[in-house]
Structure 1
Amino acid sequence: MENRPTILVTNDDGIDAPGLRALVRALVSTQHYNVQVCAPDSEKSAVSHCITWRHPLTVKQVHIDGATAFAASGTPADCTSLGISKALFPSIADLVVSGINMGSNCGYHIIYSGTVAGAREAFFNDLPSVSISYEWVGGKSSVDDYTLAAEACLPIISAILAEIRNQAYPQKCFLNIDLPTDVANNKGYRLTKQGKSIYRMGWKQVTSDMQGGKMLSTMTMEANSEASAETETSATLPDNLLFKREVKDPYIDKEVDTDYQYVQEGYITVTPLAALSRADSDSYAFFQNWLPSVAEHASTSSL
Protein backbone atom coordinates (compact mmCIF):
# COMPACT_ATOMS: atom_id res chain seq x y z
CA MET A 1 0.00 0.00 0.00
CA GLU A 2 3.07 2.27 0.00
CA ASN A 3 2.46 3.32 -3.60
CA ARG A 4 -0.92 4.84 -2.78
CA PRO A 5 -1.23 8.50 -3.84
CA THR A 6 -1.21 11.08 -1.08
CA ILE A 7 -3.90 13.72 -0.67
CA LEU A 8 -3.49 16.79 1.53
CA VAL A 9 -6.78 18.16 2.89
CA THR A 10 -7.27 21.70 4.17
CA ASN A 11 -10.20 24.14 4.52
CA ASP A 12 -11.19 27.54 5.90
CA ASP A 13 -13.96 26.50 8.31
CA GLY A 14 -11.45 24.95 10.72
CA ILE A 15 -10.20 21.47 11.40
CA ASP A 16 -13.32 20.49 13.39
CA ALA A 17 -15.73 21.56 10.64
CA PRO A 18 -18.15 18.83 9.52
CA GLY A 19 -17.33 19.44 5.85
CA LEU A 20 -13.66 18.63 6.31
CA ARG A 21 -14.39 15.65 8.52
CA ALA A 22 -16.86 14.22 5.98
CA LEU A 23 -14.33 14.66 3.17
CA VAL A 24 -11.56 12.94 5.14
CA ARG A 25 -13.86 10.05 6.09
CA ALA A 26 -14.84 9.55 2.45
CA LEU A 27 -11.22 9.56 1.28
CA VAL A 28 -10.08 7.21 4.06
CA SER A 29 -12.98 4.81 3.46
CA THR A 30 -11.78 4.09 -0.09
CA GLN A 31 -8.47 2.77 1.26
CA HIS A 32 -6.91 4.12 -1.93
CA TYR A 33 -5.10 7.14 -0.49
CA ASN A 34 -2.70 8.30 2.16
CA VAL A 35 -4.54 11.21 3.73
CA GLN A 36 -2.76 14.17 5.28
CA VAL A 37 -4.62 17.04 6.94
CA CYS A 38 -3.32 20.51 7.74
CA ALA A 39 -6.15 22.92 8.48
CA PRO A 40 -6.74 26.07 10.54
CA ASP A 41 -7.32 25.54 14.24
CA SER A 42 -10.32 27.91 14.08
CA GLU A 43 -12.64 29.34 11.46
CA LYS A 44 -10.85 31.41 8.81
CA SER A 45 -13.71 32.07 6.40
CA ALA A 46 -13.40 34.87 3.82
CA VAL A 47 -9.72 35.54 4.51
CA SER A 48 -8.96 35.16 0.79
CA HIS A 49 -5.25 34.47 0.15
CA CYS A 50 -4.00 36.09 3.35
CA ILE A 51 -0.76 34.59 4.68
CA THR A 52 1.09 34.81 7.98
CA TRP A 53 4.40 36.52 7.44
CA ARG A 54 6.03 37.89 10.58
CA HIS A 55 5.00 35.42 13.28
CA PRO A 56 5.49 31.65 13.62
CA LEU A 57 2.50 29.34 13.43
CA THR A 58 1.41 27.20 16.33
CA VAL A 59 0.80 23.63 15.15
CA LYS A 60 -0.76 20.79 17.10
CA GLN A 61 -1.36 17.18 16.07
CA VAL A 62 -5.03 16.18 16.05
CA HIS A 63 -6.53 12.70 16.00
CA ILE A 64 -8.59 11.92 12.89
CA ASP A 65 -9.16 8.25 12.13
CA GLY A 66 -7.16 7.04 9.13
CA ALA A 67 -5.32 10.31 8.57
CA THR A 68 -2.26 12.16 9.84
CA ALA A 69 -3.67 15.50 10.91
CA PHE A 70 -2.46 18.84 12.27
CA ALA A 71 -4.24 22.02 13.28
CA ALA A 72 -2.36 25.25 12.63
CA SER A 73 -2.91 28.81 13.79
CA GLY A 74 -2.62 30.17 10.26
CA THR A 75 -4.82 30.76 7.25
CA PRO A 76 -5.85 28.18 4.62
CA ALA A 77 -3.02 29.36 2.36
CA ASP A 78 -0.60 28.97 5.29
CA CYS A 79 -1.86 25.45 5.94
CA THR A 80 -1.41 24.37 2.35
CA SER A 81 2.04 25.94 2.17
CA LEU A 82 3.12 24.25 5.39
CA GLY A 83 1.54 20.94 4.39
CA ILE A 84 3.42 20.72 1.09
CA SER A 85 6.72 22.08 2.42
CA LYS A 86 8.10 18.78 3.81
CA ALA A 87 8.59 20.62 7.11
CA LEU A 88 5.46 18.98 8.54
CA PHE A 89 5.02 15.80 6.51
CA PRO A 90 7.89 13.66 5.15
CA SER A 91 6.48 13.66 1.61
CA ILE A 92 4.70 16.10 -0.67
CA ALA A 93 1.10 15.27 -1.54
CA ASP A 94 0.12 14.34 -5.09
CA LEU A 95 -3.10 16.36 -4.80
CA VAL A 96 -4.39 19.10 -2.49
CA VAL A 97 -8.12 19.23 -1.75
CA SER A 98 -9.57 22.21 0.12
CA GLY A 99 -13.04 21.90 1.66
CA ILE A 100 -15.80 21.00 1.95
CA ASN A 101 -16.85 24.59 2.56
CA MET A 102 -20.14 25.58 4.20
CA GLY A 103 -21.62 27.71 1.42
CA SER A 104 -20.93 27.88 -2.29
CA ASN A 105 -18.02 29.79 -3.80
CA CYS A 106 -19.17 31.07 -7.17
CA GLY A 107 -18.56 34.19 -9.21
CA TYR A 108 -16.67 37.01 -7.51
CA HIS A 109 -16.99 35.27 -4.13
CA ILE A 110 -14.10 33.11 -5.31
CA ILE A 111 -11.84 36.09 -4.60
CA TYR A 112 -12.94 36.29 -0.94
CA SER A 113 -12.82 32.55 -0.35
CA GLY A 114 -10.26 31.02 1.98
CA THR A 115 -11.31 27.61 0.69
CA VAL A 116 -10.35 28.51 -2.87
CA ALA A 117 -7.13 30.09 -1.60
CA GLY A 118 -6.15 26.78 -0.03
CA ALA A 119 -6.24 25.21 -3.49
CA ARG A 120 -4.72 28.25 -5.20
CA GLU A 121 -1.67 28.10 -2.92
CA ALA A 122 -0.99 24.56 -4.15
CA PHE A 123 -1.38 25.79 -7.73
CA PHE A 124 1.23 28.50 -7.02
CA ASN A 125 3.57 25.65 -6.08
CA ASP A 126 2.87 23.59 -9.21
CA LEU A 127 0.72 21.01 -7.43
CA PRO A 128 -2.70 19.87 -8.71
CA SER A 129 -5.49 21.04 -6.46
CA VAL A 130 -9.25 21.25 -6.02
CA SER A 131 -11.47 23.44 -3.86
CA ILE A 132 -14.89 22.06 -2.90
CA SER A 133 -17.91 23.97 -1.57
CA TYR A 134 -21.46 22.95 -0.74
CA GLU A 135 -24.41 25.33 -1.17
CA TRP A 136 -25.65 25.17 2.41
CA VAL A 137 -29.12 26.62 2.99
CA GLY A 138 -30.44 26.94 6.52
CA GLY A 139 -33.62 24.93 7.07
CA LYS A 140 -32.93 22.71 4.05
CA SER A 141 -29.40 21.40 4.53
CA SER A 142 -28.15 18.95 7.14
CA VAL A 143 -24.74 17.72 8.25
CA ASP A 144 -25.36 14.47 6.34
CA ASP A 145 -25.27 16.46 3.10
CA TYR A 146 -21.52 16.90 3.54
CA THR A 147 -21.11 13.14 3.33
CA LEU A 148 -23.18 13.04 0.15
CA ALA A 149 -21.13 15.92 -1.25
CA ALA A 150 -17.85 14.17 -0.46
CA GLU A 151 -19.02 10.94 -2.06
CA ALA A 152 -20.17 12.83 -5.15
CA CYS A 153 -16.66 14.26 -5.56
CA LEU A 154 -14.77 10.98 -5.18
CA PRO A 155 -15.00 10.09 -8.90
CA ILE A 156 -13.48 13.47 -9.82
CA ILE A 157 -10.67 13.06 -7.30
CA SER A 158 -9.95 9.55 -8.53
CA ALA A 159 -9.94 10.68 -12.16
CA ILE A 160 -7.59 13.58 -11.40
CA LEU A 161 -5.10 11.26 -9.73
CA ALA A 162 -5.26 8.89 -12.70
CA GLU A 163 -4.37 11.76 -15.04
CA ILE A 164 -1.57 12.83 -12.70
CA ARG A 165 -0.20 9.30 -12.75
CA ASN A 166 -0.30 9.34 -16.55
CA GLN A 167 1.39 12.78 -16.56
CA ALA A 168 -1.54 14.13 -18.57
CA TYR A 169 -3.11 16.49 -16.04
CA PRO A 170 -3.06 20.22 -16.99
CA GLN A 171 -0.56 22.32 -15.06
CA LYS A 172 -2.01 25.76 -15.83
CA CYS A 173 -5.17 25.65 -13.74
CA PHE A 174 -6.84 24.27 -10.64
CA LEU A 175 -10.46 23.24 -10.16
CA ASN A 176 -13.24 24.81 -8.12
CA ILE A 177 -16.20 22.51 -7.43
CA ASP A 178 -19.57 23.65 -6.11
CA LEU A 179 -22.33 21.27 -5.09
CA PRO A 180 -26.05 22.17 -5.07
CA THR A 181 -28.21 22.25 -1.96
CA ASP A 182 -30.17 19.14 -2.99
CA VAL A 183 -26.96 17.21 -3.52
CA ALA A 184 -28.74 13.86 -3.19
CA ASN A 185 -30.67 14.62 -6.38
CA ASN A 186 -27.96 16.49 -8.27
CA LYS A 187 -28.12 16.55 -12.07
CA GLY A 188 -24.52 15.47 -12.58
CA TYR A 189 -21.29 17.27 -13.36
CA ARG A 190 -21.23 20.41 -15.45
CA LEU A 191 -18.12 22.20 -16.72
CA THR A 192 -18.64 25.92 -16.13
CA LYS A 193 -16.78 29.21 -16.10
CA GLN A 194 -16.44 31.68 -13.27
CA GLY A 195 -19.24 34.23 -13.43
CA LYS A 196 -19.62 37.67 -11.92
CA SER A 197 -22.31 37.01 -9.34
CA ILE A 198 -21.79 38.54 -5.90
CA TYR A 199 -23.73 39.53 -2.79
CA ARG A 200 -23.05 43.23 -2.44
CA MET A 201 -22.25 44.29 1.11
CA GLY A 202 -23.09 47.35 3.15
CA TRP A 203 -22.45 48.43 6.71
CA LYS A 204 -24.66 49.33 9.62
CA GLN A 205 -23.73 50.84 12.94
CA VAL A 206 -24.33 48.57 15.92
CA THR A 207 -24.15 49.06 19.66
CA SER A 208 -22.59 46.91 22.33
CA ASP A 209 -22.14 46.91 26.09
CA MET A 210 -18.50 45.92 25.53
CA GLN A 211 -17.20 48.91 23.56
CA GLY A 212 -14.06 49.23 25.62
CA GLY A 213 -14.19 52.83 26.82
CA LYS A 214 -12.47 55.86 25.35
CA MET A 215 -10.12 55.87 22.39
CA LEU A 216 -6.64 57.16 23.24
CA SER A 217 -4.45 58.69 20.55
CA THR A 218 -1.04 57.30 19.60
CA MET A 219 0.43 60.71 20.27
CA THR A 220 -0.49 60.35 23.94
CA MET A 221 1.68 57.28 24.26
CA GLU A 222 4.61 58.68 22.29
CA ALA A 223 4.95 62.24 23.55
CA ASN A 224 5.29 62.26 27.33
CA SER A 225 5.82 66.02 27.42
CA GLU A 226 2.37 66.57 25.94
CA ALA A 227 0.63 63.69 27.72
CA SER A 228 -1.56 65.77 29.95
CA ALA A 229 -2.97 67.98 27.19
CA GLU A 230 -3.40 65.09 24.79
CA THR A 231 -5.25 62.91 27.32
CA GLU A 232 -7.62 65.74 28.06
CA THR A 233 -8.41 66.08 24.33
CA SER A 234 -8.93 62.34 23.91
CA ALA A 235 -11.31 62.16 26.84
CA THR A 236 -13.79 64.33 24.97
CA LEU A 237 -14.01 61.86 22.06
CA PRO A 238 -17.05 59.55 21.79
CA ASP A 239 -16.85 55.85 22.50
CA ASN A 240 -15.53 53.57 19.78
CA LEU A 241 -17.99 53.23 16.94
CA LEU A 242 -18.98 49.69 15.92
CA PHE A 243 -19.97 48.78 12.37
CA LYS A 244 -21.04 45.39 11.06
CA ARG A 245 -21.29 44.12 7.51
CA GLU A 246 -24.71 43.30 6.11
CA VAL A 247 -25.86 41.82 2.83
CA LYS A 248 -27.53 44.48 0.71
CA ASP A 249 -28.55 42.78 -2.50
CA PRO A 250 -27.33 40.02 -4.78
CA TYR A 251 -25.96 40.75 -8.22
CA ILE A 252 -26.98 37.85 -10.43
CA ASP A 253 -24.80 37.45 -13.48
CA LYS A 254 -26.82 37.20 -16.69
CA GLU A 255 -24.00 35.52 -18.59
CA VAL A 256 -24.72 31.89 -19.52
CA ASP A 257 -22.76 28.76 -18.61
CA THR A 258 -21.53 30.21 -15.32
CA ASP A 259 -20.88 28.47 -12.02
CA TYR A 260 -23.67 30.26 -10.13
CA GLN A 261 -26.27 29.53 -12.82
CA TYR A 262 -25.69 25.79 -12.88
CA VAL A 263 -25.38 25.34 -9.11
CA GLN A 264 -28.80 26.95 -8.77
CA GLU A 265 -30.11 24.55 -11.43
CA GLY A 266 -28.90 21.56 -9.40
CA TYR A 267 -25.64 20.64 -11.12
CA ILE A 268 -22.26 19.91 -9.57
CA THR A 269 -20.19 22.61 -11.20
CA VAL A 270 -16.54 22.09 -12.12
CA THR A 271 -14.78 25.37 -12.90
CA PRO A 272 -11.13 25.59 -14.01
CA LEU A 273 -9.41 28.60 -12.45
CA ALA A 274 -6.06 30.30 -12.84
CA ALA A 275 -4.22 32.52 -10.41
CA LEU A 276 -5.26 35.82 -11.96
CA SER A 277 -8.24 37.21 -13.83
CA ARG A 278 -7.25 39.33 -16.81
CA ALA A 279 -9.23 42.38 -17.85
CA ASP A 280 -11.68 41.90 -20.72
CA SER A 281 -10.44 42.60 -24.25
CA ASP A 282 -12.47 45.84 -24.63
CA SER A 283 -10.86 47.34 -21.54
CA TYR A 284 -7.40 46.29 -22.68
CA ALA A 285 -8.00 47.88 -26.08
CA PHE A 286 -9.06 51.14 -24.40
CA PHE A 287 -5.86 51.34 -22.37
CA GLN A 288 -3.73 50.50 -25.42
CA ASN A 289 -4.88 53.78 -26.95
CA TRP A 290 -5.13 55.70 -23.69
CA LEU A 291 -1.70 55.14 -22.14
CA PRO A 292 0.37 56.61 -25.04
CA SER A 293 -1.78 59.75 -24.93
CA VAL A 294 -1.13 60.08 -21.19
CA ALA A 295 2.60 59.79 -21.77
CA GLU A 296 2.44 62.34 -24.59
CA HIS A 297 0.45 64.78 -22.44
CA ALA A 298 2.91 64.36 -19.55
CA SER A 299 5.82 65.08 -21.88
CA THR A 300 4.15 68.18 -23.30
CA SER A 301 3.10 69.58 -19.91
CA SER A 302 6.64 69.29 -18.55
CA LEU A 303 7.95 71.73 -21.16
Structure 2
Amino acid sequence: MTTTNTTKTRICILSDTHTETPHIRTFIHKPYRHPLPKSDIFLHAGDLTKVGRQEEHQIVVDMLKKDVHAEVKIIIAGNHDLTHDRKYYAEKGVGRHGSARLEDPEAIRALYTDDAAKDAGIVYMEEEVRTFTLKNGAKFTVYASPYTPEFCGWAFAYDRDEDRFNPHDGPIASSVNQWVPDFPGVDIMVTHGPPAGVLDKIYWGKNVGCDNLLQACRRAKPRLHVFGHIHEAYGAVRRDWSSDNNTEVEEEDLEIVMKNRRRYIDLSSGAEEPLRYGEETLFVNASIVTVGYTTDNAPWVVDLDLPVA
Protein backbone atom coordinates (compact mmCIF):
# COMPACT_ATOMS: atom_id res chain seq x y z
CA MET A 1 0.00 0.00 0.00
CA THR A 2 1.25 3.49 -0.91
CA THR A 3 1.03 5.98 1.95
CA THR A 4 1.38 9.76 2.09
CA ASN A 5 -0.03 12.69 4.05
CA THR A 6 -3.74 12.89 3.35
CA THR A 7 -6.82 14.86 4.34
CA LYS A 8 -10.42 13.69 4.56
CA THR A 9 -12.38 15.08 1.61
CA ARG A 10 -16.08 14.82 0.78
CA ILE A 11 -17.19 14.05 -2.77
CA CYS A 12 -20.76 14.28 -4.14
CA ILE A 13 -21.40 12.26 -7.30
CA LEU A 14 -24.10 12.32 -9.97
CA SER A 15 -24.43 10.96 -13.48
CA ASP A 16 -27.12 10.62 -16.13
CA THR A 17 -29.43 13.37 -14.94
CA HIS A 18 -30.65 13.95 -18.52
CA THR A 19 -31.74 17.56 -17.83
CA GLU A 20 -33.67 16.49 -14.73
CA THR A 21 -33.04 18.86 -11.81
CA PRO A 22 -33.53 17.92 -8.13
CA HIS A 23 -37.11 17.56 -6.95
CA ILE A 24 -38.51 20.11 -4.54
CA ARG A 25 -37.70 19.61 -0.88
CA THR A 26 -41.17 18.29 0.01
CA PHE A 27 -40.91 15.31 -2.41
CA ILE A 28 -39.71 13.13 0.47
CA HIS A 29 -40.23 9.92 -1.52
CA LYS A 30 -37.46 10.97 -3.95
CA PRO A 31 -33.84 11.03 -2.73
CA TYR A 32 -32.76 13.28 -5.62
CA ARG A 33 -34.23 16.48 -4.22
CA HIS A 34 -33.33 19.85 -2.75
CA PRO A 35 -30.98 20.57 -1.19
CA LEU A 36 -28.24 18.51 -2.80
CA PRO A 37 -25.58 17.33 -0.30
CA LYS A 38 -22.72 19.76 0.28
CA SER A 39 -19.22 18.55 -0.54
CA ASP A 40 -15.67 19.62 -1.28
CA ILE A 41 -15.74 18.09 -4.76
CA PHE A 42 -18.73 17.54 -7.04
CA LEU A 43 -18.49 15.09 -9.94
CA HIS A 44 -20.95 14.62 -12.82
CA ALA A 45 -20.14 11.70 -15.12
CA GLY A 46 -22.11 12.77 -18.18
CA ASP A 47 -25.44 12.58 -19.97
CA LEU A 48 -26.19 16.01 -18.65
CA THR A 49 -29.01 16.39 -21.18
CA LYS A 50 -31.45 14.37 -23.24
CA VAL A 51 -30.19 15.37 -26.71
CA GLY A 52 -27.86 18.33 -26.15
CA ARG A 53 -30.15 21.25 -26.95
CA GLN A 54 -28.94 24.66 -25.76
CA GLU A 55 -31.98 25.15 -23.54
CA GLU A 56 -31.22 21.80 -21.88
CA HIS A 57 -27.62 22.80 -21.24
CA GLN A 58 -28.76 26.12 -19.80
CA ILE A 59 -30.96 24.27 -17.29
CA VAL A 60 -27.99 22.09 -16.32
CA VAL A 61 -25.59 25.01 -15.90
CA ASP A 62 -28.14 26.93 -13.84
CA MET A 63 -28.45 23.90 -11.57
CA LEU A 64 -24.67 23.59 -11.24
CA LYS A 65 -24.42 27.25 -10.27
CA LYS A 66 -27.37 27.47 -7.89
CA ASP A 67 -27.99 23.99 -6.48
CA VAL A 68 -24.54 22.38 -6.28
CA HIS A 69 -22.54 23.46 -3.23
CA ALA A 70 -18.92 22.42 -3.70
CA GLU A 71 -15.58 24.14 -4.12
CA VAL A 72 -14.82 22.33 -7.39
CA LYS A 73 -17.52 21.01 -9.75
CA ILE A 74 -16.01 18.66 -12.35
CA ILE A 75 -18.26 17.90 -15.30
CA ILE A 76 -17.93 15.62 -18.33
CA ALA A 77 -20.28 14.94 -21.21
CA GLY A 78 -21.93 11.67 -22.21
CA ASN A 79 -23.26 10.13 -25.40
CA HIS A 80 -26.54 12.09 -25.15
CA ASP A 81 -24.76 15.45 -24.96
CA LEU A 82 -24.54 15.66 -28.73
CA THR A 83 -23.41 19.24 -29.09
CA HIS A 84 -20.36 18.78 -26.87
CA ASP A 85 -18.94 16.40 -29.48
CA ARG A 86 -17.98 18.99 -32.12
CA LYS A 87 -16.92 16.49 -34.80
CA TYR A 88 -20.02 14.34 -34.30
CA TYR A 89 -22.36 17.33 -34.40
CA ALA A 90 -20.76 18.75 -37.54
CA GLU A 91 -21.36 15.43 -39.30
CA LYS A 92 -24.67 14.31 -37.79
CA GLY A 93 -26.29 17.36 -36.24
CA VAL A 94 -28.76 17.76 -39.08
CA GLY A 95 -29.87 14.15 -38.72
CA ARG A 96 -30.26 14.44 -34.96
CA HIS A 97 -31.61 17.98 -34.54
CA GLY A 98 -32.83 18.93 -38.01
CA SER A 99 -31.41 21.68 -40.19
CA ALA A 100 -34.05 24.17 -39.04
CA ARG A 101 -32.86 24.05 -35.43
CA LEU A 102 -29.13 23.41 -35.48
CA GLU A 103 -27.35 24.51 -32.32
CA ASP A 104 -24.07 26.40 -31.85
CA PRO A 105 -21.66 23.98 -30.09
CA GLU A 106 -19.24 26.79 -29.25
CA ALA A 107 -21.92 28.82 -27.51
CA ILE A 108 -23.00 25.73 -25.59
CA ARG A 109 -19.41 24.92 -24.58
CA ALA A 110 -19.03 28.50 -23.33
CA LEU A 111 -21.85 27.96 -20.84
CA TYR A 112 -19.51 25.57 -18.99
CA THR A 113 -16.25 27.44 -19.52
CA ASP A 114 -16.92 31.20 -19.38
CA ASP A 115 -16.01 33.42 -16.46
CA ALA A 116 -19.39 32.96 -14.77
CA ALA A 117 -18.95 29.18 -14.86
CA LYS A 118 -15.39 29.42 -13.54
CA ASP A 119 -16.54 31.73 -10.74
CA ALA A 120 -19.11 29.07 -9.79
CA GLY A 121 -16.37 26.41 -9.58
CA ILE A 122 -17.42 24.59 -12.76
CA VAL A 123 -14.67 22.70 -14.58
CA TYR A 124 -15.58 21.03 -17.87
CA MET A 125 -13.20 18.17 -18.77
CA GLU A 126 -12.91 16.15 -21.98
CA GLU A 127 -10.42 13.25 -22.34
CA GLU A 128 -7.71 14.90 -20.28
CA VAL A 129 -5.84 14.94 -16.98
CA ARG A 130 -5.88 17.84 -14.52
CA THR A 131 -4.59 18.41 -11.02
CA PHE A 132 -6.57 20.42 -8.46
CA THR A 133 -5.78 21.87 -5.04
CA LEU A 134 -8.55 22.49 -2.50
CA LYS A 135 -8.76 24.89 0.42
CA ASN A 136 -8.48 21.93 2.80
CA GLY A 137 -5.01 21.25 1.37
CA ALA A 138 -5.99 18.25 -0.77
CA LYS A 139 -4.13 18.02 -4.07
CA PHE A 140 -5.55 15.41 -6.43
CA THR A 141 -5.33 14.42 -10.08
CA VAL A 142 -8.35 13.55 -12.23
CA TYR A 143 -8.51 11.63 -15.51
CA ALA A 144 -11.70 12.28 -17.48
CA SER A 145 -13.23 10.90 -20.67
CA PRO A 146 -16.75 11.09 -22.14
CA TYR A 147 -16.06 8.32 -24.68
CA THR A 148 -17.97 5.02 -24.66
CA PRO A 149 -18.20 2.03 -27.02
CA GLU A 150 -20.41 2.81 -30.03
CA PHE A 151 -24.11 2.51 -29.25
CA CYS A 152 -26.96 3.35 -31.66
CA GLY A 153 -25.18 6.25 -33.32
CA TRP A 154 -24.79 8.53 -30.30
CA ALA A 155 -21.93 10.95 -29.58
CA PHE A 156 -18.42 10.35 -28.18
CA ALA A 157 -18.33 6.80 -29.55
CA TYR A 158 -15.51 4.41 -30.44
CA ASP A 159 -15.42 0.90 -31.88
CA ARG A 160 -14.96 -1.79 -29.25
CA ASP A 161 -11.68 -2.94 -30.75
CA GLU A 162 -10.24 0.58 -30.39
CA ASP A 163 -8.30 1.49 -27.26
CA ARG A 164 -8.57 5.11 -26.11
CA PHE A 165 -7.20 4.46 -22.63
CA ASN A 166 -3.85 2.64 -22.84
CA PRO A 167 -0.68 3.76 -24.67
CA HIS A 168 -0.26 2.08 -28.07
CA ASP A 169 0.70 2.86 -31.66
CA GLY A 170 -2.61 1.96 -33.27
CA PRO A 171 -4.54 4.18 -35.71
CA ILE A 172 -6.74 5.64 -32.97
CA ALA A 173 -3.72 6.94 -31.06
CA SER A 174 -3.50 10.21 -32.99
CA SER A 175 -7.00 11.24 -31.91
CA VAL A 176 -6.54 10.50 -28.21
CA ASN A 177 -5.85 13.60 -26.13
CA GLN A 178 -4.59 11.78 -23.03
CA TRP A 179 -4.03 8.17 -21.97
CA VAL A 180 -4.90 7.08 -18.45
CA PRO A 181 -1.71 7.62 -16.37
CA ASP A 182 0.10 4.74 -14.69
CA PHE A 183 -0.17 4.31 -10.92
CA PRO A 184 0.16 6.53 -8.92
CA GLY A 185 -0.53 9.21 -11.51
CA VAL A 186 -4.28 9.61 -11.00
CA ASP A 187 -6.45 9.73 -7.87
CA ILE A 188 -9.91 9.93 -9.45
CA MET A 189 -11.19 8.72 -12.81
CA VAL A 190 -14.42 10.13 -14.26
CA THR A 191 -15.66 8.39 -17.38
CA HIS A 192 -19.13 8.25 -18.83
CA GLY A 193 -19.11 4.49 -19.31
CA PRO A 194 -18.08 1.61 -17.02
CA PRO A 195 -15.14 -0.76 -17.32
CA ALA A 196 -15.90 -4.36 -18.23
CA GLY A 197 -17.53 -6.39 -15.50
CA VAL A 198 -17.99 -3.48 -13.09
CA LEU A 199 -21.56 -2.18 -12.65
CA ASP A 200 -22.11 -2.63 -16.39
CA LYS A 201 -24.87 -5.24 -16.67
CA ILE A 202 -27.87 -4.22 -18.79
CA TYR A 203 -31.36 -5.38 -17.94
CA TRP A 204 -31.28 -8.54 -20.07
CA GLY A 205 -28.11 -9.71 -18.34
CA LYS A 206 -25.26 -8.78 -20.68
CA ASN A 207 -22.13 -6.99 -19.42
CA VAL A 208 -21.34 -4.11 -21.77
CA GLY A 209 -18.42 -2.29 -20.11
CA CYS A 210 -15.13 -1.63 -21.87
CA ASP A 211 -12.27 -4.13 -21.58
CA ASN A 212 -9.64 -1.54 -22.45
CA LEU A 213 -10.95 0.80 -19.77
CA LEU A 214 -10.70 -2.02 -17.23
CA GLN A 215 -7.10 -2.62 -18.31
CA ALA A 216 -6.38 1.08 -17.76
CA CYS A 217 -8.01 0.99 -14.33
CA ARG A 218 -5.91 -2.01 -13.35
CA ARG A 219 -2.81 -0.13 -14.46
CA ALA A 220 -3.76 3.17 -12.77
CA LYS A 221 -5.39 1.86 -9.55
CA PRO A 222 -7.22 5.12 -8.78
CA ARG A 223 -8.78 5.69 -5.39
CA LEU A 224 -12.17 6.34 -7.02
CA HIS A 225 -13.66 5.69 -10.46
CA VAL A 226 -17.01 7.33 -11.21
CA PHE A 227 -19.27 6.66 -14.21
CA GLY A 228 -22.89 6.09 -15.25
CA HIS A 229 -24.31 5.31 -18.72
CA ILE A 230 -25.80 1.94 -17.72
CA HIS A 231 -28.76 3.20 -15.72
CA GLU A 232 -29.88 -0.17 -14.41
CA ALA A 233 -26.42 -0.90 -12.94
CA TYR A 234 -26.53 1.94 -10.39
CA GLY A 235 -24.48 1.00 -7.35
CA ALA A 236 -20.99 0.88 -5.84
CA VAL A 237 -18.33 -1.82 -5.46
CA ARG A 238 -14.82 -2.08 -4.08
CA ARG A 239 -12.37 -3.96 -6.27
CA ASP A 240 -9.38 -5.73 -4.76
CA TRP A 241 -6.73 -5.64 -7.49
CA SER A 242 -4.80 -8.57 -6.05
CA SER A 243 -7.71 -10.90 -6.78
CA ASP A 244 -9.87 -8.84 -9.18
CA ASN A 245 -12.79 -9.46 -6.86
CA ASN A 246 -15.63 -6.95 -6.55
CA THR A 247 -17.33 -6.46 -3.19
CA GLU A 248 -20.67 -4.66 -3.25
CA VAL A 249 -20.96 -1.73 -0.89
CA GLU A 250 -23.59 -2.53 1.72
CA GLU A 251 -26.87 -0.78 1.02
CA GLU A 252 -28.15 1.69 3.58
CA ASP A 253 -31.67 1.54 4.95
CA LEU A 254 -34.02 3.16 2.43
CA GLU A 255 -35.48 5.43 5.09
CA ILE A 256 -32.01 6.79 5.87
CA VAL A 257 -31.27 7.31 2.17
CA MET A 258 -34.52 9.24 1.71
CA LYS A 259 -33.96 11.35 4.82
CA ASN A 260 -30.37 12.27 3.93
CA ARG A 261 -30.98 12.55 0.15
CA ARG A 262 -27.90 10.43 -0.60
CA ARG A 263 -26.17 7.06 -0.53
CA TYR A 264 -23.12 7.39 1.73
CA ILE A 265 -19.74 5.64 1.84
CA ASP A 266 -16.95 6.45 4.28
CA LEU A 267 -13.58 5.13 3.12
CA SER A 268 -11.45 7.64 5.01
CA SER A 269 -8.83 6.60 7.55
CA GLY A 270 -11.39 6.92 10.34
CA ALA A 271 -13.78 4.41 8.77
CA GLU A 272 -14.18 0.80 9.85
CA GLU A 273 -12.69 -0.35 6.53
CA PRO A 274 -10.72 2.51 4.96
CA LEU A 275 -9.70 2.32 1.33
CA ARG A 276 -6.37 0.57 0.81
CA TYR A 277 -4.84 2.91 -1.73
CA GLY A 278 -2.84 1.10 -4.39
CA GLU A 279 -4.57 -2.17 -3.55
CA GLU A 280 -8.21 -1.38 -4.24
CA THR A 281 -10.50 1.08 -6.02
CA LEU A 282 -14.02 2.24 -5.25
CA PHE A 283 -16.21 2.12 -8.37
CA VAL A 284 -19.46 4.12 -8.40
CA ASN A 285 -22.20 4.01 -11.04
CA ALA A 286 -24.04 7.21 -10.14
CA SER A 287 -26.89 7.24 -12.68
CA ILE A 288 -29.72 9.28 -11.21
CA VAL A 289 -32.28 8.03 -13.70
CA THR A 290 -33.39 4.43 -13.95
CA VAL A 291 -33.61 2.35 -17.11
CA GLY A 292 -37.10 3.87 -17.48
CA TYR A 293 -35.65 7.41 -17.15
CA THR A 294 -37.32 8.13 -13.82
CA THR A 295 -35.26 10.04 -11.22
CA ASP A 296 -35.43 7.39 -8.51
CA ASN A 297 -31.75 6.99 -7.60
CA ALA A 298 -29.90 8.90 -4.91
CA PRO A 299 -26.77 11.00 -5.27
CA TRP A 300 -23.64 9.37 -3.85
CA VAL A 301 -21.54 10.98 -1.14
CA VAL A 302 -18.07 9.53 -0.51
CA ASP A 303 -15.63 10.52 2.23
CA LEU A 304 -12.14 9.76 0.99
CA ASP A 305 -8.59 10.60 2.02
CA LEU A 306 -6.79 12.61 -0.66
CA PRO A 307 -3.11 13.55 -0.69
CA VAL A 308 -2.08 16.88 0.84
CA ALA A 309 -0.27 19.40 -1.34
Q: Normalising by structure 1, report the TM-score.
A: 0.28
User: Greater relative contact order (Cα 8 A, min sep 6): structure 1 or 2?
Assistant: 2
Higher helix share: 1
Higher-Rg structure is: 1
TM-score, length basis structure 2: 0.28
